[in-house]
Structure 1
Amino acid sequence: MINGSKLDLSQTAILRPATPDDVPVLFQLIQALAEYEKLSHEVSGNPDHLKQHLFGSPSYIEAILAELKGKAVGFALFFYNYSTFLTQPGIYLEDLFVLPEYRRQGIGKALITHLAELAVSRGCGRLEWSVLDWNQPAINFYQKIGATILPDWRICRVTGPSLTALGNP
């Protein structure tokens, strides 16, 4: 399922790359993810920026939609990173989300398996992502599919006024 072709998960679920027409529903899924993670107050972006970053020049991100009976029920949004130790690119999964009523149907596993296939086909050395420490169902799922949770690493982030101050000395 590279370059726009579709991949059947079963008789009814489809994985496919997002198109410009999908941006509104993709943004709705992002908002649903933020609500699930109790972070709705953090959503400050908008569909126009999302579209620009997905399909502009340059594009910064890619997204895969999961559809069930014609309805978008989940997504994976990702981009390249780089490992200096491996001296190889990798794929960083920014978000993986399936609407709660569609979970436990193999959709999340199909999305992450698809990303692993992309990583292998693109010569990447790793697929990685973060998970909230309170999200035990996600942690259990990730461990079940073979992921290692790295206890010694912490995410560092500079945003908003701190980023502006750091970037404009």
Structure 2
Amino acid sequence: MSDVQIRAVTADDHAAWLPLWKAYLTFYKTELPDAVTESTWKRFLDSNEPTNAALAWQDGKAVGMVHFIYHRSNWSINWSCYLQDLLVTPDQRGTGVGRKLIEHVYATAKKDGADKVHWLTHETNTTAIQLYDRIAERPGFIQFRKPL
């Protein structure tokens, strides 16, 4: 296996990012209007937005993606970083690509002055949970939500 490189997306990466984004939505059995996908992509490229994206590249092909968002917290002076979306292509799962993507977020968030990185996953995502248990702590909180 050749080395995997992680880098922030650029405007030229849309064609590589879009299939990963669609695969992520399919994994979570959801669909979004094209306008949401288009807006999401534009936010990644806007330096005034708190949203960020990076791709994992191997042999010229995108094999993973991560999205993260900076936000304020009432429990800290500095930023917090929410790792919102993470996907590794099925053929690369278990090879360290997911860890590299998360470590990229850790390093970027630290450089940008964030105090912590946090995220959620579905309870059935057992493969990812095995990784998360090794590289982060599980604080025990349960998420509640109400669509508006």
TM range (shorter): 0.7 to 0.9
Tell me if 1:117 matches 2:107: yes
Whether contact under 8 Å (1:78, 1:93) holds in the other structure is: yes
2:6 maps to what in 1?
15
- Cα distance between partner residues in 2 of 1:86 and 1:25: 36
* Contact in 2 for aligned 1:76/1:96 (Cα 8 Å): yes
For structure 2, the residue ranges without an aligned partner over 5 or more in a row are none
Q: 1:2-151 to 2 correspondence within 5 Å?
A: 11-39=2-30, 42-46=31-35, 47-56=37-46, 58-145=48-135, 147-151=136-140
Tell me the distance in 1 between the aligned counterparts of 2:46 and 2:73: 26
C-alpha separation between the residues in 2 aligned to 1:57 and 1:67? 23
CA displacement at 1:60 relative to structure 2: 4.0
Instruction: Provide the rounded CA distance (Å) in 1 between the counterparts of 2:79 and 2:10.
Output: 24
SS of the residue corresponding to residue 151 of structure 1 reads coil
Q: How much does 1:157 deviate?
A: 4.3
Work out the number of aligned pairs and report it.
Answer: 147
Q: Which amino acid aligns with 2:142?
A: W
Whether the 8 Å CA contact 2:16–2:61 is kept in 1: the answer is no
Q: Which runs of 5+ in 1 are unaligned?
A: 1-9, 163-169
TM-score with structure 1 length normalisation?
0.78
| RMSD (Å), alpha carbons | 1.9
Q: Name the counterpart of 1:152.
A: 141
**Deviation (angstroms), 1:11:** 4.6
* Aligned structure 1 segments of 4 or more residues deviating by more than 4 angstroms: none
Q: Check the 8 A contact 1:81/1:90 in 2, yes or no.
A: yes
The equivalent residue for 1:7 is none
Offset from partner CA, 1:114-136 (integer Å, 9 cap, x none): 11111222221100111111111
Structure number with greater Rg is 1
Q: Counterpart of 1:149 in 2: which secondary structure? A: coil
CA distance in 2 between partners of 1:29 and 1:155 (Å): 27
Following TM superposition, by how much is the alpha carbon of 1:150 offset from its aligned partner in structure 2, in angstroms?
3.4
**Relative to 1, partners in 2 of residues 1:57 and 1:114: Cα closer, same or farther, differing over 3 Å?**
closer
- Other structure's SS at 1:83 match: coil
Deviation (angstroms), 1:48 = 3.0
